[in-house]
Amino acid sequence: MESLDPRRIGDTTKIQIQDGPGDFSVRGCQKRTCKRGKKKGAKLLCLALIYVAFVVFNVLHRVYNEINKQEGVEFDEVLRVKRDVISYGNRTSEPGLRSESDHKNCTTRSAEEFPGNFMTLKETRDGGVFAHILIVLYVFGALAIVCDDYFCASLEIICDELSLQEDVAGATFMAAGSSAPEFFTALIGVFIAESDVGVGTIVGSAVFNILFIVGVCGLFAGMIVRLTWYPVLRDSLYYLLSVAALIITIYDNEVQWYEGLVLVCMYVIYIILMYFNKSIEPFMEGLLKKIKNRKHAHKHRHEDHNSNQTEAAKPLYYENPKSSANGTTPSSSPKADDETTFSVKNEEEECSSSEEKSSEGDEKEYHPAEGHKDSKEYESPWQIPDTFLKRIFWVAMIPMHALFFVTIPDCRRPGRWHKTYPVTFVMSIAWIAGLSYIMVWMVTVAGDALEIPETVMGLTLLAAGTSVPDCLSSLFVARDGLGDMAVSNSIGSNVFDILMCLGFPWLLKSLALEDGAPIKIQSEGLTYSAITLLSTVVFLLVAMFLTRWRLDKKFGVICLFVYVVVIIFSCLYELNVFGNFNISNYCPRD
């Protein structure tokens, strides 16, 4: 065998380390970090564009069907209009018959189901609507205080008494606490307003929770928050079933009593699954581990087979510094292969870790330490905040602080007050119900004056307003590194919104009607919004899989972009831009 110059071997090895695929230097890590970051961003952008294309295609498909349906009944419609004109002319000749017939064939305006407006219609349209909007914003602040400081505080004690896990508590009790305004909004919309304002609020809030809150957590958390795959996948899959059940329920624009019962029973099953989560989670993780082990074993057998065929043609040399100095030939040794492999693996790990640190600039990956405790401690409502904006909010909400302080016992206070959490729970519900009534009342009056459908107000103003406290709490939790609890709270809130906030009022209303008559859904556009909502969950799961279950800035920007697109198209549907999907034959004003 021809002797080799050890200096030549060293030079060759050096060239391979610098320029070959095994370059683990800082410069090489930075290059691969840049490439992988661009690839991840490109994947997320492509996913967002595909999703937007799906939304646009769905819109065009519905518009095409609507046009065909209108062309098919065009001739019958012309005949009906002619008959109506003839009958209308006959009725106008008889005094009193016209208005009586019109009121029989029209729908009562939702604003007339509430107490009278403190302004005239002209005053409201001439700028008085801003007073209604200010009242709504003030009610939003009051709801945030009563939900965060009192209602959720009592639910936290209940979760401690039941010894629930963090993600289970976030998906059940905490989700119910944050969704209390939506629940009473749906109740008021079904029983008092008798409109789709509750359904619009629930659908809009669901889109807000899925895309906007998760996007804000990724954009403003200030770190790369790692997520655990199991709780996110668990809640998302059940949420998919919930949205599918909602689509089936409202597809024919009618809700039967048994359909409301099915939704409520689905939430009961969800609670049972959450209760046995401690037993289900290890089983699922063990099953996934077995699948991974089988794949790795098959891969190693394939690699061993290939390595055995090429072992003879793969000489290994261990360069001893002493032998190099003496000019001797390096000897073949398995020690060289072991040490080289060990060194390369360490360098790969270092490069991988440095890649994650540098991939998001100043962001840092955070894992909550063991023994992490909630940093939220009791703060007196009369304590003046530190920042200027918080002081302005505190001064504006002093009347509500005083009312809550007098009527609701604060179970956060140390001592005997801790045992008053049942009273805190009940009184908080009473306040949330009253404030939600005022909120829906003002929004309905404002929308009626501006000729804006209640569903649009629900999709935008009510959905965002009722979900802002949930958004802030999820952001604070994500900044503490508890990404699982933040995402579980958002998705769990949606499960509660669809199954309970809609199912329970529909069940009560249908049972209260004579002969179990179905509840009418006025807007056909809500079916489209629900289908879009189904696709948002798929988008979220695919995006999280592409980002390896991490929340970062790129993920947040994509989610916010998709949220804006979905809300714009949903509102255009409700405003009948793409066809007559929201048909409301309101009675004439007096």
pLDDT recorded at residue 263: 93
Predicted pLDDT at 83: 44
Q: What's at 291, amino acid-wise?
A: I
The pLDDT tens digits of the residues spanning 213-265 come to 888 888 887 777 788 878 788 888 888 999 999 989 988 888 888 999 999 99
Beta strands in 377-474 (DSSP E): none
Is the model's pLDDT at 365 over the cut of 50?
no
- 3-class DSSP state of 454: helix
Q: For residue 433, give Cα distances in angstroms to 183, 185, 187, 324.
A: 9, 8, 9, 85
Q: What tokens were used for 390?
A: 């918080």
Average pLDDT, the chain: 71
Q: Which range (60-69, 149-158, 372-381, 569-578) has the least confidence? A: 60-69
In this model, does residue 358 exceed pLDDT 70?
no
The arithmetic mean of pLDDT across residues 83-99, rounded, is 44
How many domains is the chain partitioned into structurally? 1
DSSP 512-549: HSGGGPPEE--BTHHHHHHHHHHHHHHHHHHHHHHTTS
User: Which of 99-103, 113-117, 275-279 comes out lowest in average pLDDT?
Assistant: 99-103
Measured at the alpha carbon of residue 158, what is the angle toward residues 146 and 500, in degrees to the nearest 5?
70
pLDDT in tens, 9-22: 444 444 444 444 45
| Domain contains 169 | yes
- The distance from CA 232 to its chain's CA centroid, rounded to whole angstroms, is 11
Give the least confident one: 71-80, 500-509, 549-558.
71-80
Q: Please choose, from the candidates 110, 192, 199, the residue with its C-alpha nearest in 3D space to the C-alpha of residue 502.
A: 199
Predicted local distance difference test score (pLDDT) of residue 396: 92
Question: Which residues fall within 8 angstroms of residue 13, CB to CB, at 6 or more apart?
Answer: none
| Confidence grade of residue 317 (pLDDT, cut at 50, 70, 90) | very low
**How far is C-alpha 493 from the chain's CA centre?**
8
- Say how far apart CA 437 and CA 193 lie, in whole Å: 10
Label each residue of 3-43 as H, E or C: CCCHHHHHHHHHHHHHHCCCCCCHHHHHHHHHHHHHHHHHH
Q: What is the pLDDT of residues 123-169, one digit of tens each?
A: 888 888 888 889 988 998 898 888 888 887 888 888 888 777 766 67
User: What is the rounded distance in angstroms from the CA atom of residue 231 to the CA atom of residue 167?
Assistant: 7
Look at residue 272 and tell me if it is in a domain: yes
Task: Note whether residue 247 is domain-resident.
Answer: yes
247 CB burial (10 A radius; 0-12, 13-18, 19+):
middle
Q: How far apart are CA 468 and CA 461, in angstroms?
A: 11
pLDDT for 138 equals 92
- Nearest partner of 485 among 494, 497, 496, 476, judged by Cα: 476
Q: Is residue 292 part of a domain?
A: no
Please answer whether residues 148 and 469 qualify as being in contact, where contact means their C-beta atoms are separated by less than 8 angstroms. Answer: yes
pLDDT over 90 percentage in the chain: 6
List the single range of 185-189, 236-240, 279-283 with lowest mean pLDDT.
Answer: 279-283
| Residues near 125 by beta carbon (within 8 Å), at least 6 away in sequence | 449, 450
Which secondary structure element, helix H or strand E, spans residue 426, and what is its range?
A: helix 421-449
Average pLDDT over residues 455-471: 79
95 within some domain: no
229: domain CATH number is 1.20.1420.30
pLDDT at 298: 64
* Residue from 564, 583, 563 nearest 573 by CA: 583
Q: 260 lies in which domain range? A: 120-281+394-574
Residues 378 and 371: their CA atoms lie apart, in Å, by 20
**Nearest CA to 557 among 360, 376, 424?**
360
- Crossing angle of the two packed helices 197-207 and 553-574, in degrees rounded to 10: 160
For 319, phi then psi, to 5°, come to -90, 110
Query: CA angle, 315 as apex, 314 and 318 as ends, to 5°?
Result: 135
Start-end of H helices in 276-316? 277-310
Does residue 284 register a pLDDT over 60? yes
Angle between helical axes of 388-396 and 398-407 (0-180°, round to 10) = 60
Is 215 contained in some domain? yes
Percent of the chain with pLDDT over 70: 62
Find the radius of gyration of the CA atoms of the chain: 31
Instruction: Centre a 10 Å sphere on the Cβ of residue 56 and count the other Cβ atoms it contains.
Output: 12
pLDDT of the residue at 328: 47
Position 157 scores a pLDDT of: 85
Q: Which residue has the higher pLDDT, 81 or 103?
A: 103
Pairing of strands 223-226, 364-366: parallel
- Residue 513 pLDDT exceeds 80: no
Nearest to 495 by CA among 205, 280, 275, 253: 205
Higher pLDDT, 450 or 423: 423
Residue 127 domain flag: yes
Tell me the per-residue pLDDT of 26-50, one tens digit each, with 9 for 90 and over.
555 555 555 555 555 565 666 666 6
CA–CA separation, 205 vs 210, rounded Å?
Answer: 9
The separation between the first and the last C-alpha atoms of the chain, rounded to the nearest angstrom, is 108
Split at pLDDT 50, 70, 90, the class of 436 is confident
Cα dihedral sign, 103-107-109-115? positive
pLDDT for the residue numbered 581: 59
The strand pairing partners of 225, in sequence order, are 366, 551
